[in-house]
Structure 1
Amino acid sequence: MTLTTKTTSDSGESPQDSGGNGDRGAAPFLDLACGDGASLLIETARIRHKRWDNIIRKLEYCRTWSKGATDPYCMMVLGESGTGKSAVVAAYMQRHKVSEEEEGQRIPVLKVDAPAVPTMKSLAESMLFALGDPLADKGTLNARTDRLIRLLKRCGVEIIIVDEFQHFLEHESAKSLQSTSDWLKNLITQSRLPVVLVGLEKCGKILESYPQLDRRFMAQAYLKPFRWHEAKREEFFHFLSELDDQLPLREKSGLSDPEMAQRLFFASKGLVSSLMKIVRQGAHIAIELNEPRITAKSLSKAYKLTTARRIKPDPFLGPLPEIDETWGKMQVILTNPPFNTSVKSKVAPKQAA
């Protein structure tokens, strides 16, 4: 399939831009018949925002300032599920891609996921496999570690990122976790490379009990959900506007319009992962229906397809929810609720009598 983009004049405007009717201006759109190409653009859309940029800067600091250091600069990236931790790591890896050189592959950023049932041997195996070792699953822990140290140097690795690190905290005993702590410490010391642990917020608290790791991972960066209170709302609007610009549709969908943004915030609870799933699915539906933009009806269908624990009434077709954040929780009160009743999100704090 071929991708059909807008043609532009010398002034930079396309014929569609000059009409001023909400048509696309910032990004090319696809002929809606090109489903495969459109799907690819929808699924690969990545939106940078301040939180990501701050963490990427810190990752880059660890990578560059650890070169030649006897005590590499390590850190943790923490946040609740759905806040975009893995997406930030993916964006960082795009800056430092694997390259083919005469000596073999150069892998500046080695990223692995902690195994679902983690052990030191399985983590070493994951790293060896990512470095292309055909015998990744062979040998004792000491033998695997020795090979790993050699391959890290041979592949030009400059930073190691371990995602989903909470698996170690969830499955290992205190004794096993102490052994893992010692192994990671030795890996950092022998390789002289920075290690970044990515996981849920509870990782930071639990590691306080393990001085060997806690001392090395004192630098911690947090990814929080978007907030709705007035001081932070503009960040959410900006994210939606950037996302709208990247969608391969004929017209902008008005995602950052105040009412639509309010509905999207309610449906996603401010979580980047939930928001992206809803909007991406809404864009797919719009293309299937040959519609020029995402509509509230498309988002309603997308919400039902992507959200297991849905809140009623429908956040996109029902009354406009009024959102009040209290003590970090999200409380939703519907304006003009049907039958004179109110609906609150399940994460809302209890009201005082």
Structure 2
Amino acid sequence: MIHHPGLSEPRTKEEWRAYLDAKPPLRPTMPPLDDYLAMSEGERETFNDERHRYHSALVILKTPPMQRIHRQIKRKLLLNANPPPGARPGLVIDGPPTVGKSTLVKTFAAEFEHGLRRRHPERFVRKPGDDYVPVAYVSVPAGCTPKMLSSAHAKYMCLELPRSATSEAITTRVLEAIRRCGTELIIIDDVHFLDVSVKDGKLTNDHLKNLANFAAATFVYTGVEVEDSGLFLEGGHSERATQTGGRFTLFQLDRFSIKTETDAREWALVIKGMEDALALFRHKTGMLAAQHWEYLHDRTNGSIASLSILIREAALEAVESGTERITKKMMDEIVLPRASEQSYRAKRKRKRHSSSGKGQDDLGCAAG
């Protein structure tokens, strides 16, 4: 049997465990450049294949915004460890696409469960029947209904359900499984797929509140433009706004900015973190962060996802081309996702107009 080399989004507890157990490719030990050049063609191809696998994954950086929100999630878990019965406080992480919301919550959840494995290995001994499932990760499907959401939870917990099972019956089974399996952290990703303007969306929104009421776990939601989606209005009824708005803390995760010196320094540190991880012979680490931090912000619009794509793809090209370094010219030739490319074109146009105007003003001042 041939196994797919990559990891997909976990849909079940078994896939989540596979995600936790997966080891990223290690950085190859870099020989002296002369030794590399002296390799046979076959040896060089094998070594470069290792570098390609490594650069394909590269690193997941713990950026300052990620660290700040991780601290908040940990604090909520500690707060919810032994409270009286009832709904526990939760978190909503809102932000535009490609800022790393899903990566942020999965990284925290993975570290949380790995910590439990170290401290309480006895809990993870596999036994017949229900096992220990401290983390549940569910992604909201498009056009989600209460039954679809409960079914996604049931699929994650690997529950066998009769085809005729109602939404209420599935939810009851899910809540029982959460209790029996000791689930402490429940992540519900892509909550923006709940369309609260339609009946099913309102019902699903209320269904989320019902889960939070009866599951003794900390809930973390992520989504795009969640604050304006109606999630905090429980299906659009303003008189019930406090039911979720009163329990869930909202955190905004935005694209990186370079408007202030602090912002620019954080952005440059992210770039340098990726540079430090590269396995290239001639690339001077820190060069991109020092010389091209503003260009990289323009190219990616401050998106951590686009930055990762750009640097990883440039690293692959640096190996393939034999240049062994990342240059601005090389990055210019890489086509990023459409949103980043559109933003970059717009910024270049604005800068051309701005520099054109400045030149005329400077000439006038000098003449005066």
Q: Shorter-chain TM-score category? A: 0.7 to 0.9
Q: Deviations over 1:132-152 (max 9, x none)?
A: 224386611111111101211
8 Å CA contact retained: 2:94, 2:225: yes
In structure 1, how many angstroms separate the alpha carbons of the residues matched to 2:73 and 2:344? 42
In structure 2, how many angstroms separate the alpha carbons of the residues matched to 1:202 and 1:186? 19
In structure 1, how many angstroms separate the alpha carbons of the residues matched to 2:173 and 2:215? 11
Which stretch shows the higher mean deviation, 105-114 or 268-277?
105-114
Q: How far off its partner does 1:94 sit? A: 2.1
1:89 aligns with 2:100: no
Q: 1:335 to 1:301 in 2, by over 3 A?
A: same
8 Å CA contact retained: 1:79, 1:201: yes
In structure 1, how many angstroms separate the alpha carbons of the residues matched to 2:99 and 2:258? 15
Please name the residue that 1:349 is paired with: none
In structure 2, how many angstroms separate the alpha carbons of the residues matched to 1:183 and 1:313? 41
Q: 1:135 to 1:242 in 2, by over 3 A?
A: same
Q: Secondary structure at the match of 2:141?
A: coil
1:119 aligns with 2:145: yes
Q: How far off its partner does 1:260 sit? A: 1.1
8 Å CA contact retained: 1:32, 1:290: no
Q: Deviations over 1:227-269 (max 9, x none)?
A: 1123311110111111111222233454544431111110001
1:286 aligns with 2:318: yes
In structure 1, how many angstroms separate the alpha carbons of the residues matched to 2:97 and 2:103? 12
8 Å CA contact retained: 2:150, 2:170: yes
Q: Could you tell me which of 227, 235, 260 is aligned with 1:230?
A: 260
Q: Could you tell me which of 49, 53, 56 is aligned with 1:40?
A: 53
- Which letter maps to 1:236? W
Q: Could you tell me which of 44, 68, 82 is aligned with 1:68?
A: 82
Q: How far off its partner does 1:63 sit? A: 2.0
Q: Secondary structure at the match of 1:248?
A: coil
Q: Could you tell me which of 229, 250, 273 is aligned with 1:220?
A: 250
- Which letter maps to 2:101? K
Q: 1:68 to 1:41 in 2, by over 3 A?
A: same
Please name the residue that 1:78 is paired with: 94
Q: How far off its partner does 1:167 sit? A: 0.4
In structure 1, how many angstroms separate the alpha carbons of the residues matched to 2:318 and 2:74? 39
8 Å CA contact retained: 1:85, 1:223: yes
Q: 1:31 to 1:305 in 2, by over 3 A?
A: farther
Higher helix share: 2
Q: How far off its partner does 1:53 sit? A: 0.5
Which stretch shows the higher mean deviation, 144-153 or 64-73?
64-73
Q: How far off its partner does 1:271 sit? A: 1.2
Q: How far off its partner does 1:111 sit? A: 1.1
Q: 1:122 to 1:260 in 2, by over 3 A?
A: same
| Percent of matched pairs sharing the same residue | 22
Please name the residue that 2:223 is paired with: 199
Q: How far off its partner does 1:181 sit? A: 3.0
Structure 2 segments unaligned to the other structure (5+ residues): 1-24, 34-42, 118-123, 235-240, 359-368
Equivalent residue pairs, number? 303
In structure 1, how many angstroms separate the alpha carbons of the residues matched to 2:210 and 2:343? 52
Give the TM-score normalised by the residue count of structure 1: 0.75
In structure 2, how many angstroms separate the alpha carbons of the residues matched to 1:205 and 1:183? 16
Map 1:161-180 to 2 at 5 A: 161-169=187-195, 172-180=196-204
Q: Deviations over 1:101-123 (max 9, x none)?
A: 23354322211110122111111
Q: How far off its partner does 1:54 sit? A: 0.8
Q: 1:312 to 1:123 in 2, by over 3 A?
A: closer
How well do the aligned residues superpose, as a CA RMSD in angstroms? 3.3
